[in-house]
């Protein structure tokens, strides 16, 4: 027979903090009249006011659809506020040298993108397409096919290096799982 006040985590390690309690926590409801959902999305009641409404996601989206942050400001004040916010948030802007210059999903490095350009493939090419393009290009400019051609030898080397970069990237992706 166990006591009613005893917890289930009396052994070691203790999985909850020592000062935690088991009382229910009151959750704020949506401030929209008649809505009983949880009010987890704060929204300002008026411009430059610390007072907030708390809406559910549905009503927050409805409220924000008509929200004008610059309401009540004249043209100069709007421009000044916009400039100040852009200046404050400029640290969050992506640096131009980290940005993509072409299409892609962000999973390929700059070296991989250059290798794909050498093989004349799109950024989303899979490994079988890479192998196929490598073999076709290598057959065209192989030193056995074009003996003594310096330009063909340079192209062949570029194609080999490109394929090696893409092959190693594919191996790294397969190791990560």
Say yes or no: 68 and 126 in one domain: no
- CA distance linking residue 124 with residue 100, whole number of Å: 13
Distance CA 127, CA 105 (A): 16
Given this model, what pLDDT does residue 84 score? 86
* pLDDT, position 160: 94
In a domain, 22, yes or no: no
**11 inside domain:** no
Residue 28 is assigned to a structural domain of this protein? no
pLDDT value of residue 103: 44
What confidence score (pLDDT) does residue 85 get? 82
Q: Please indicate, yes or no, whether residues 45 and 75 belong to a single structural domain of this protein.
A: yes
- Phi, psi dihedral angles at 31 (to 5 degrees): -75, -5
| Cβ 39 vs Cβ 56: under 8 Å | yes
Tokens representing 18 are 């020592």
pLDDT digits (tens, 9 = 90+) for 93-149: 655 555 544 444 567 888 888 999 999 998 888 899 999 999 999 999 998 888 888
Query: Quick one: pLDDT at residue 53?
Result: 84
Best CA proximity match to 55, nearest among 69, 44, 65, 40: 40
pLDDT tier, 162 (very low <50, low <70, confident <90, very high otherwise):
very high
For residue 15, is it within any domain?
Answer: no
Does residue 20 lie in a domain region? no
pLDDT at res. 164: 93
Higher pLDDT, 174 or 96: 174
pTM above 0.75, yes or no: no
Is residue 25 a part of any domain in this protein?
Answer: no
Q: Which range scores top for mean pLDDT: 17-26, 81-90, 109-118? A: 109-118
- The per-residue pLDDT for 102 is 45
In a domain, 1, yes or no: no
pLDDT tens digits for range 38-61:
888 888 887 677 888 888 888 888
E strand segments, 45-85: 52-55
Number of domains into which the chain is organized: 2
CATH classification of the domain holding 136? 1.10.287.110
Q: Is residue 30 part of a domain?
A: no
**What size, in residues, is the chain?**
177
pLDDT at 135: 94
Asked if the model's pLDDT at residue 176 lies above 90, the reply is no
Say whether both 124 and 164 belong to one domain: yes
Stronger pLDDT, 103 or 16, i.e. the higher one: 16
Identify which has the larger pLDDT, 104 or 85: 85
Please enumerate in sequence order all residues whose Cβ is within 8 A of that of 116, keeping only pairs 6 or more positions apart, or say none. Answer: 108, 122, 123, 125, 130, 162, 166
Looking at the structure, do residues 172 and 114 belong to the same domain, yes or no?
Answer: yes
Task: Looking at the structure, tell me whether residues 119 and 168 fall in a common domain.
Answer: yes
By residue range, what is the domain housing residue 165? Answer: 110-176
Q: Domain check: are 165 and 118 in the same one?
A: yes
129 phi, psi to nearest 5 deg:
-65, -35
């Amino acid at each position: 027979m166990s006591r009613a006040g005893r917890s289930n985590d009396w052994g070691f390690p203790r999985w909850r903090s020592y000062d935690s309690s088991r009382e229910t926590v009151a959750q704020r409801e949506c401030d929209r009249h008649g809505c009983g959902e949880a009010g987890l999305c704060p929204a300002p009641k008026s411009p430059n006011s610390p007072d907030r409404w708390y809406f559910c996601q549905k009503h927050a989206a409805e409220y924000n659809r008509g929200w004008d942050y610059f309401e009540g400001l004249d043209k100069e004040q709007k421009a000044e506020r916009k400039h100040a916010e852009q200046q404050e948030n400029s640290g969050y802007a992506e640096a131009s040298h980290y940005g993509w210059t072409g299409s892609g999903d962000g999973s390929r490095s700059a070296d991989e993108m250059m290798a794909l350009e050498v093989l004349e493939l799109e950024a989303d090419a899979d490994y079988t397409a890479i192998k196929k393009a490598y073999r076709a290009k290598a057959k065209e400019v192989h030193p056995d096919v074009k003996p003594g051609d310096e330009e063909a030898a340079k192209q062949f080397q570029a194609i080999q290096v490109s394929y090696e970069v893409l092959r190693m990237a594919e191996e790294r992706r397969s190791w990560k799982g």
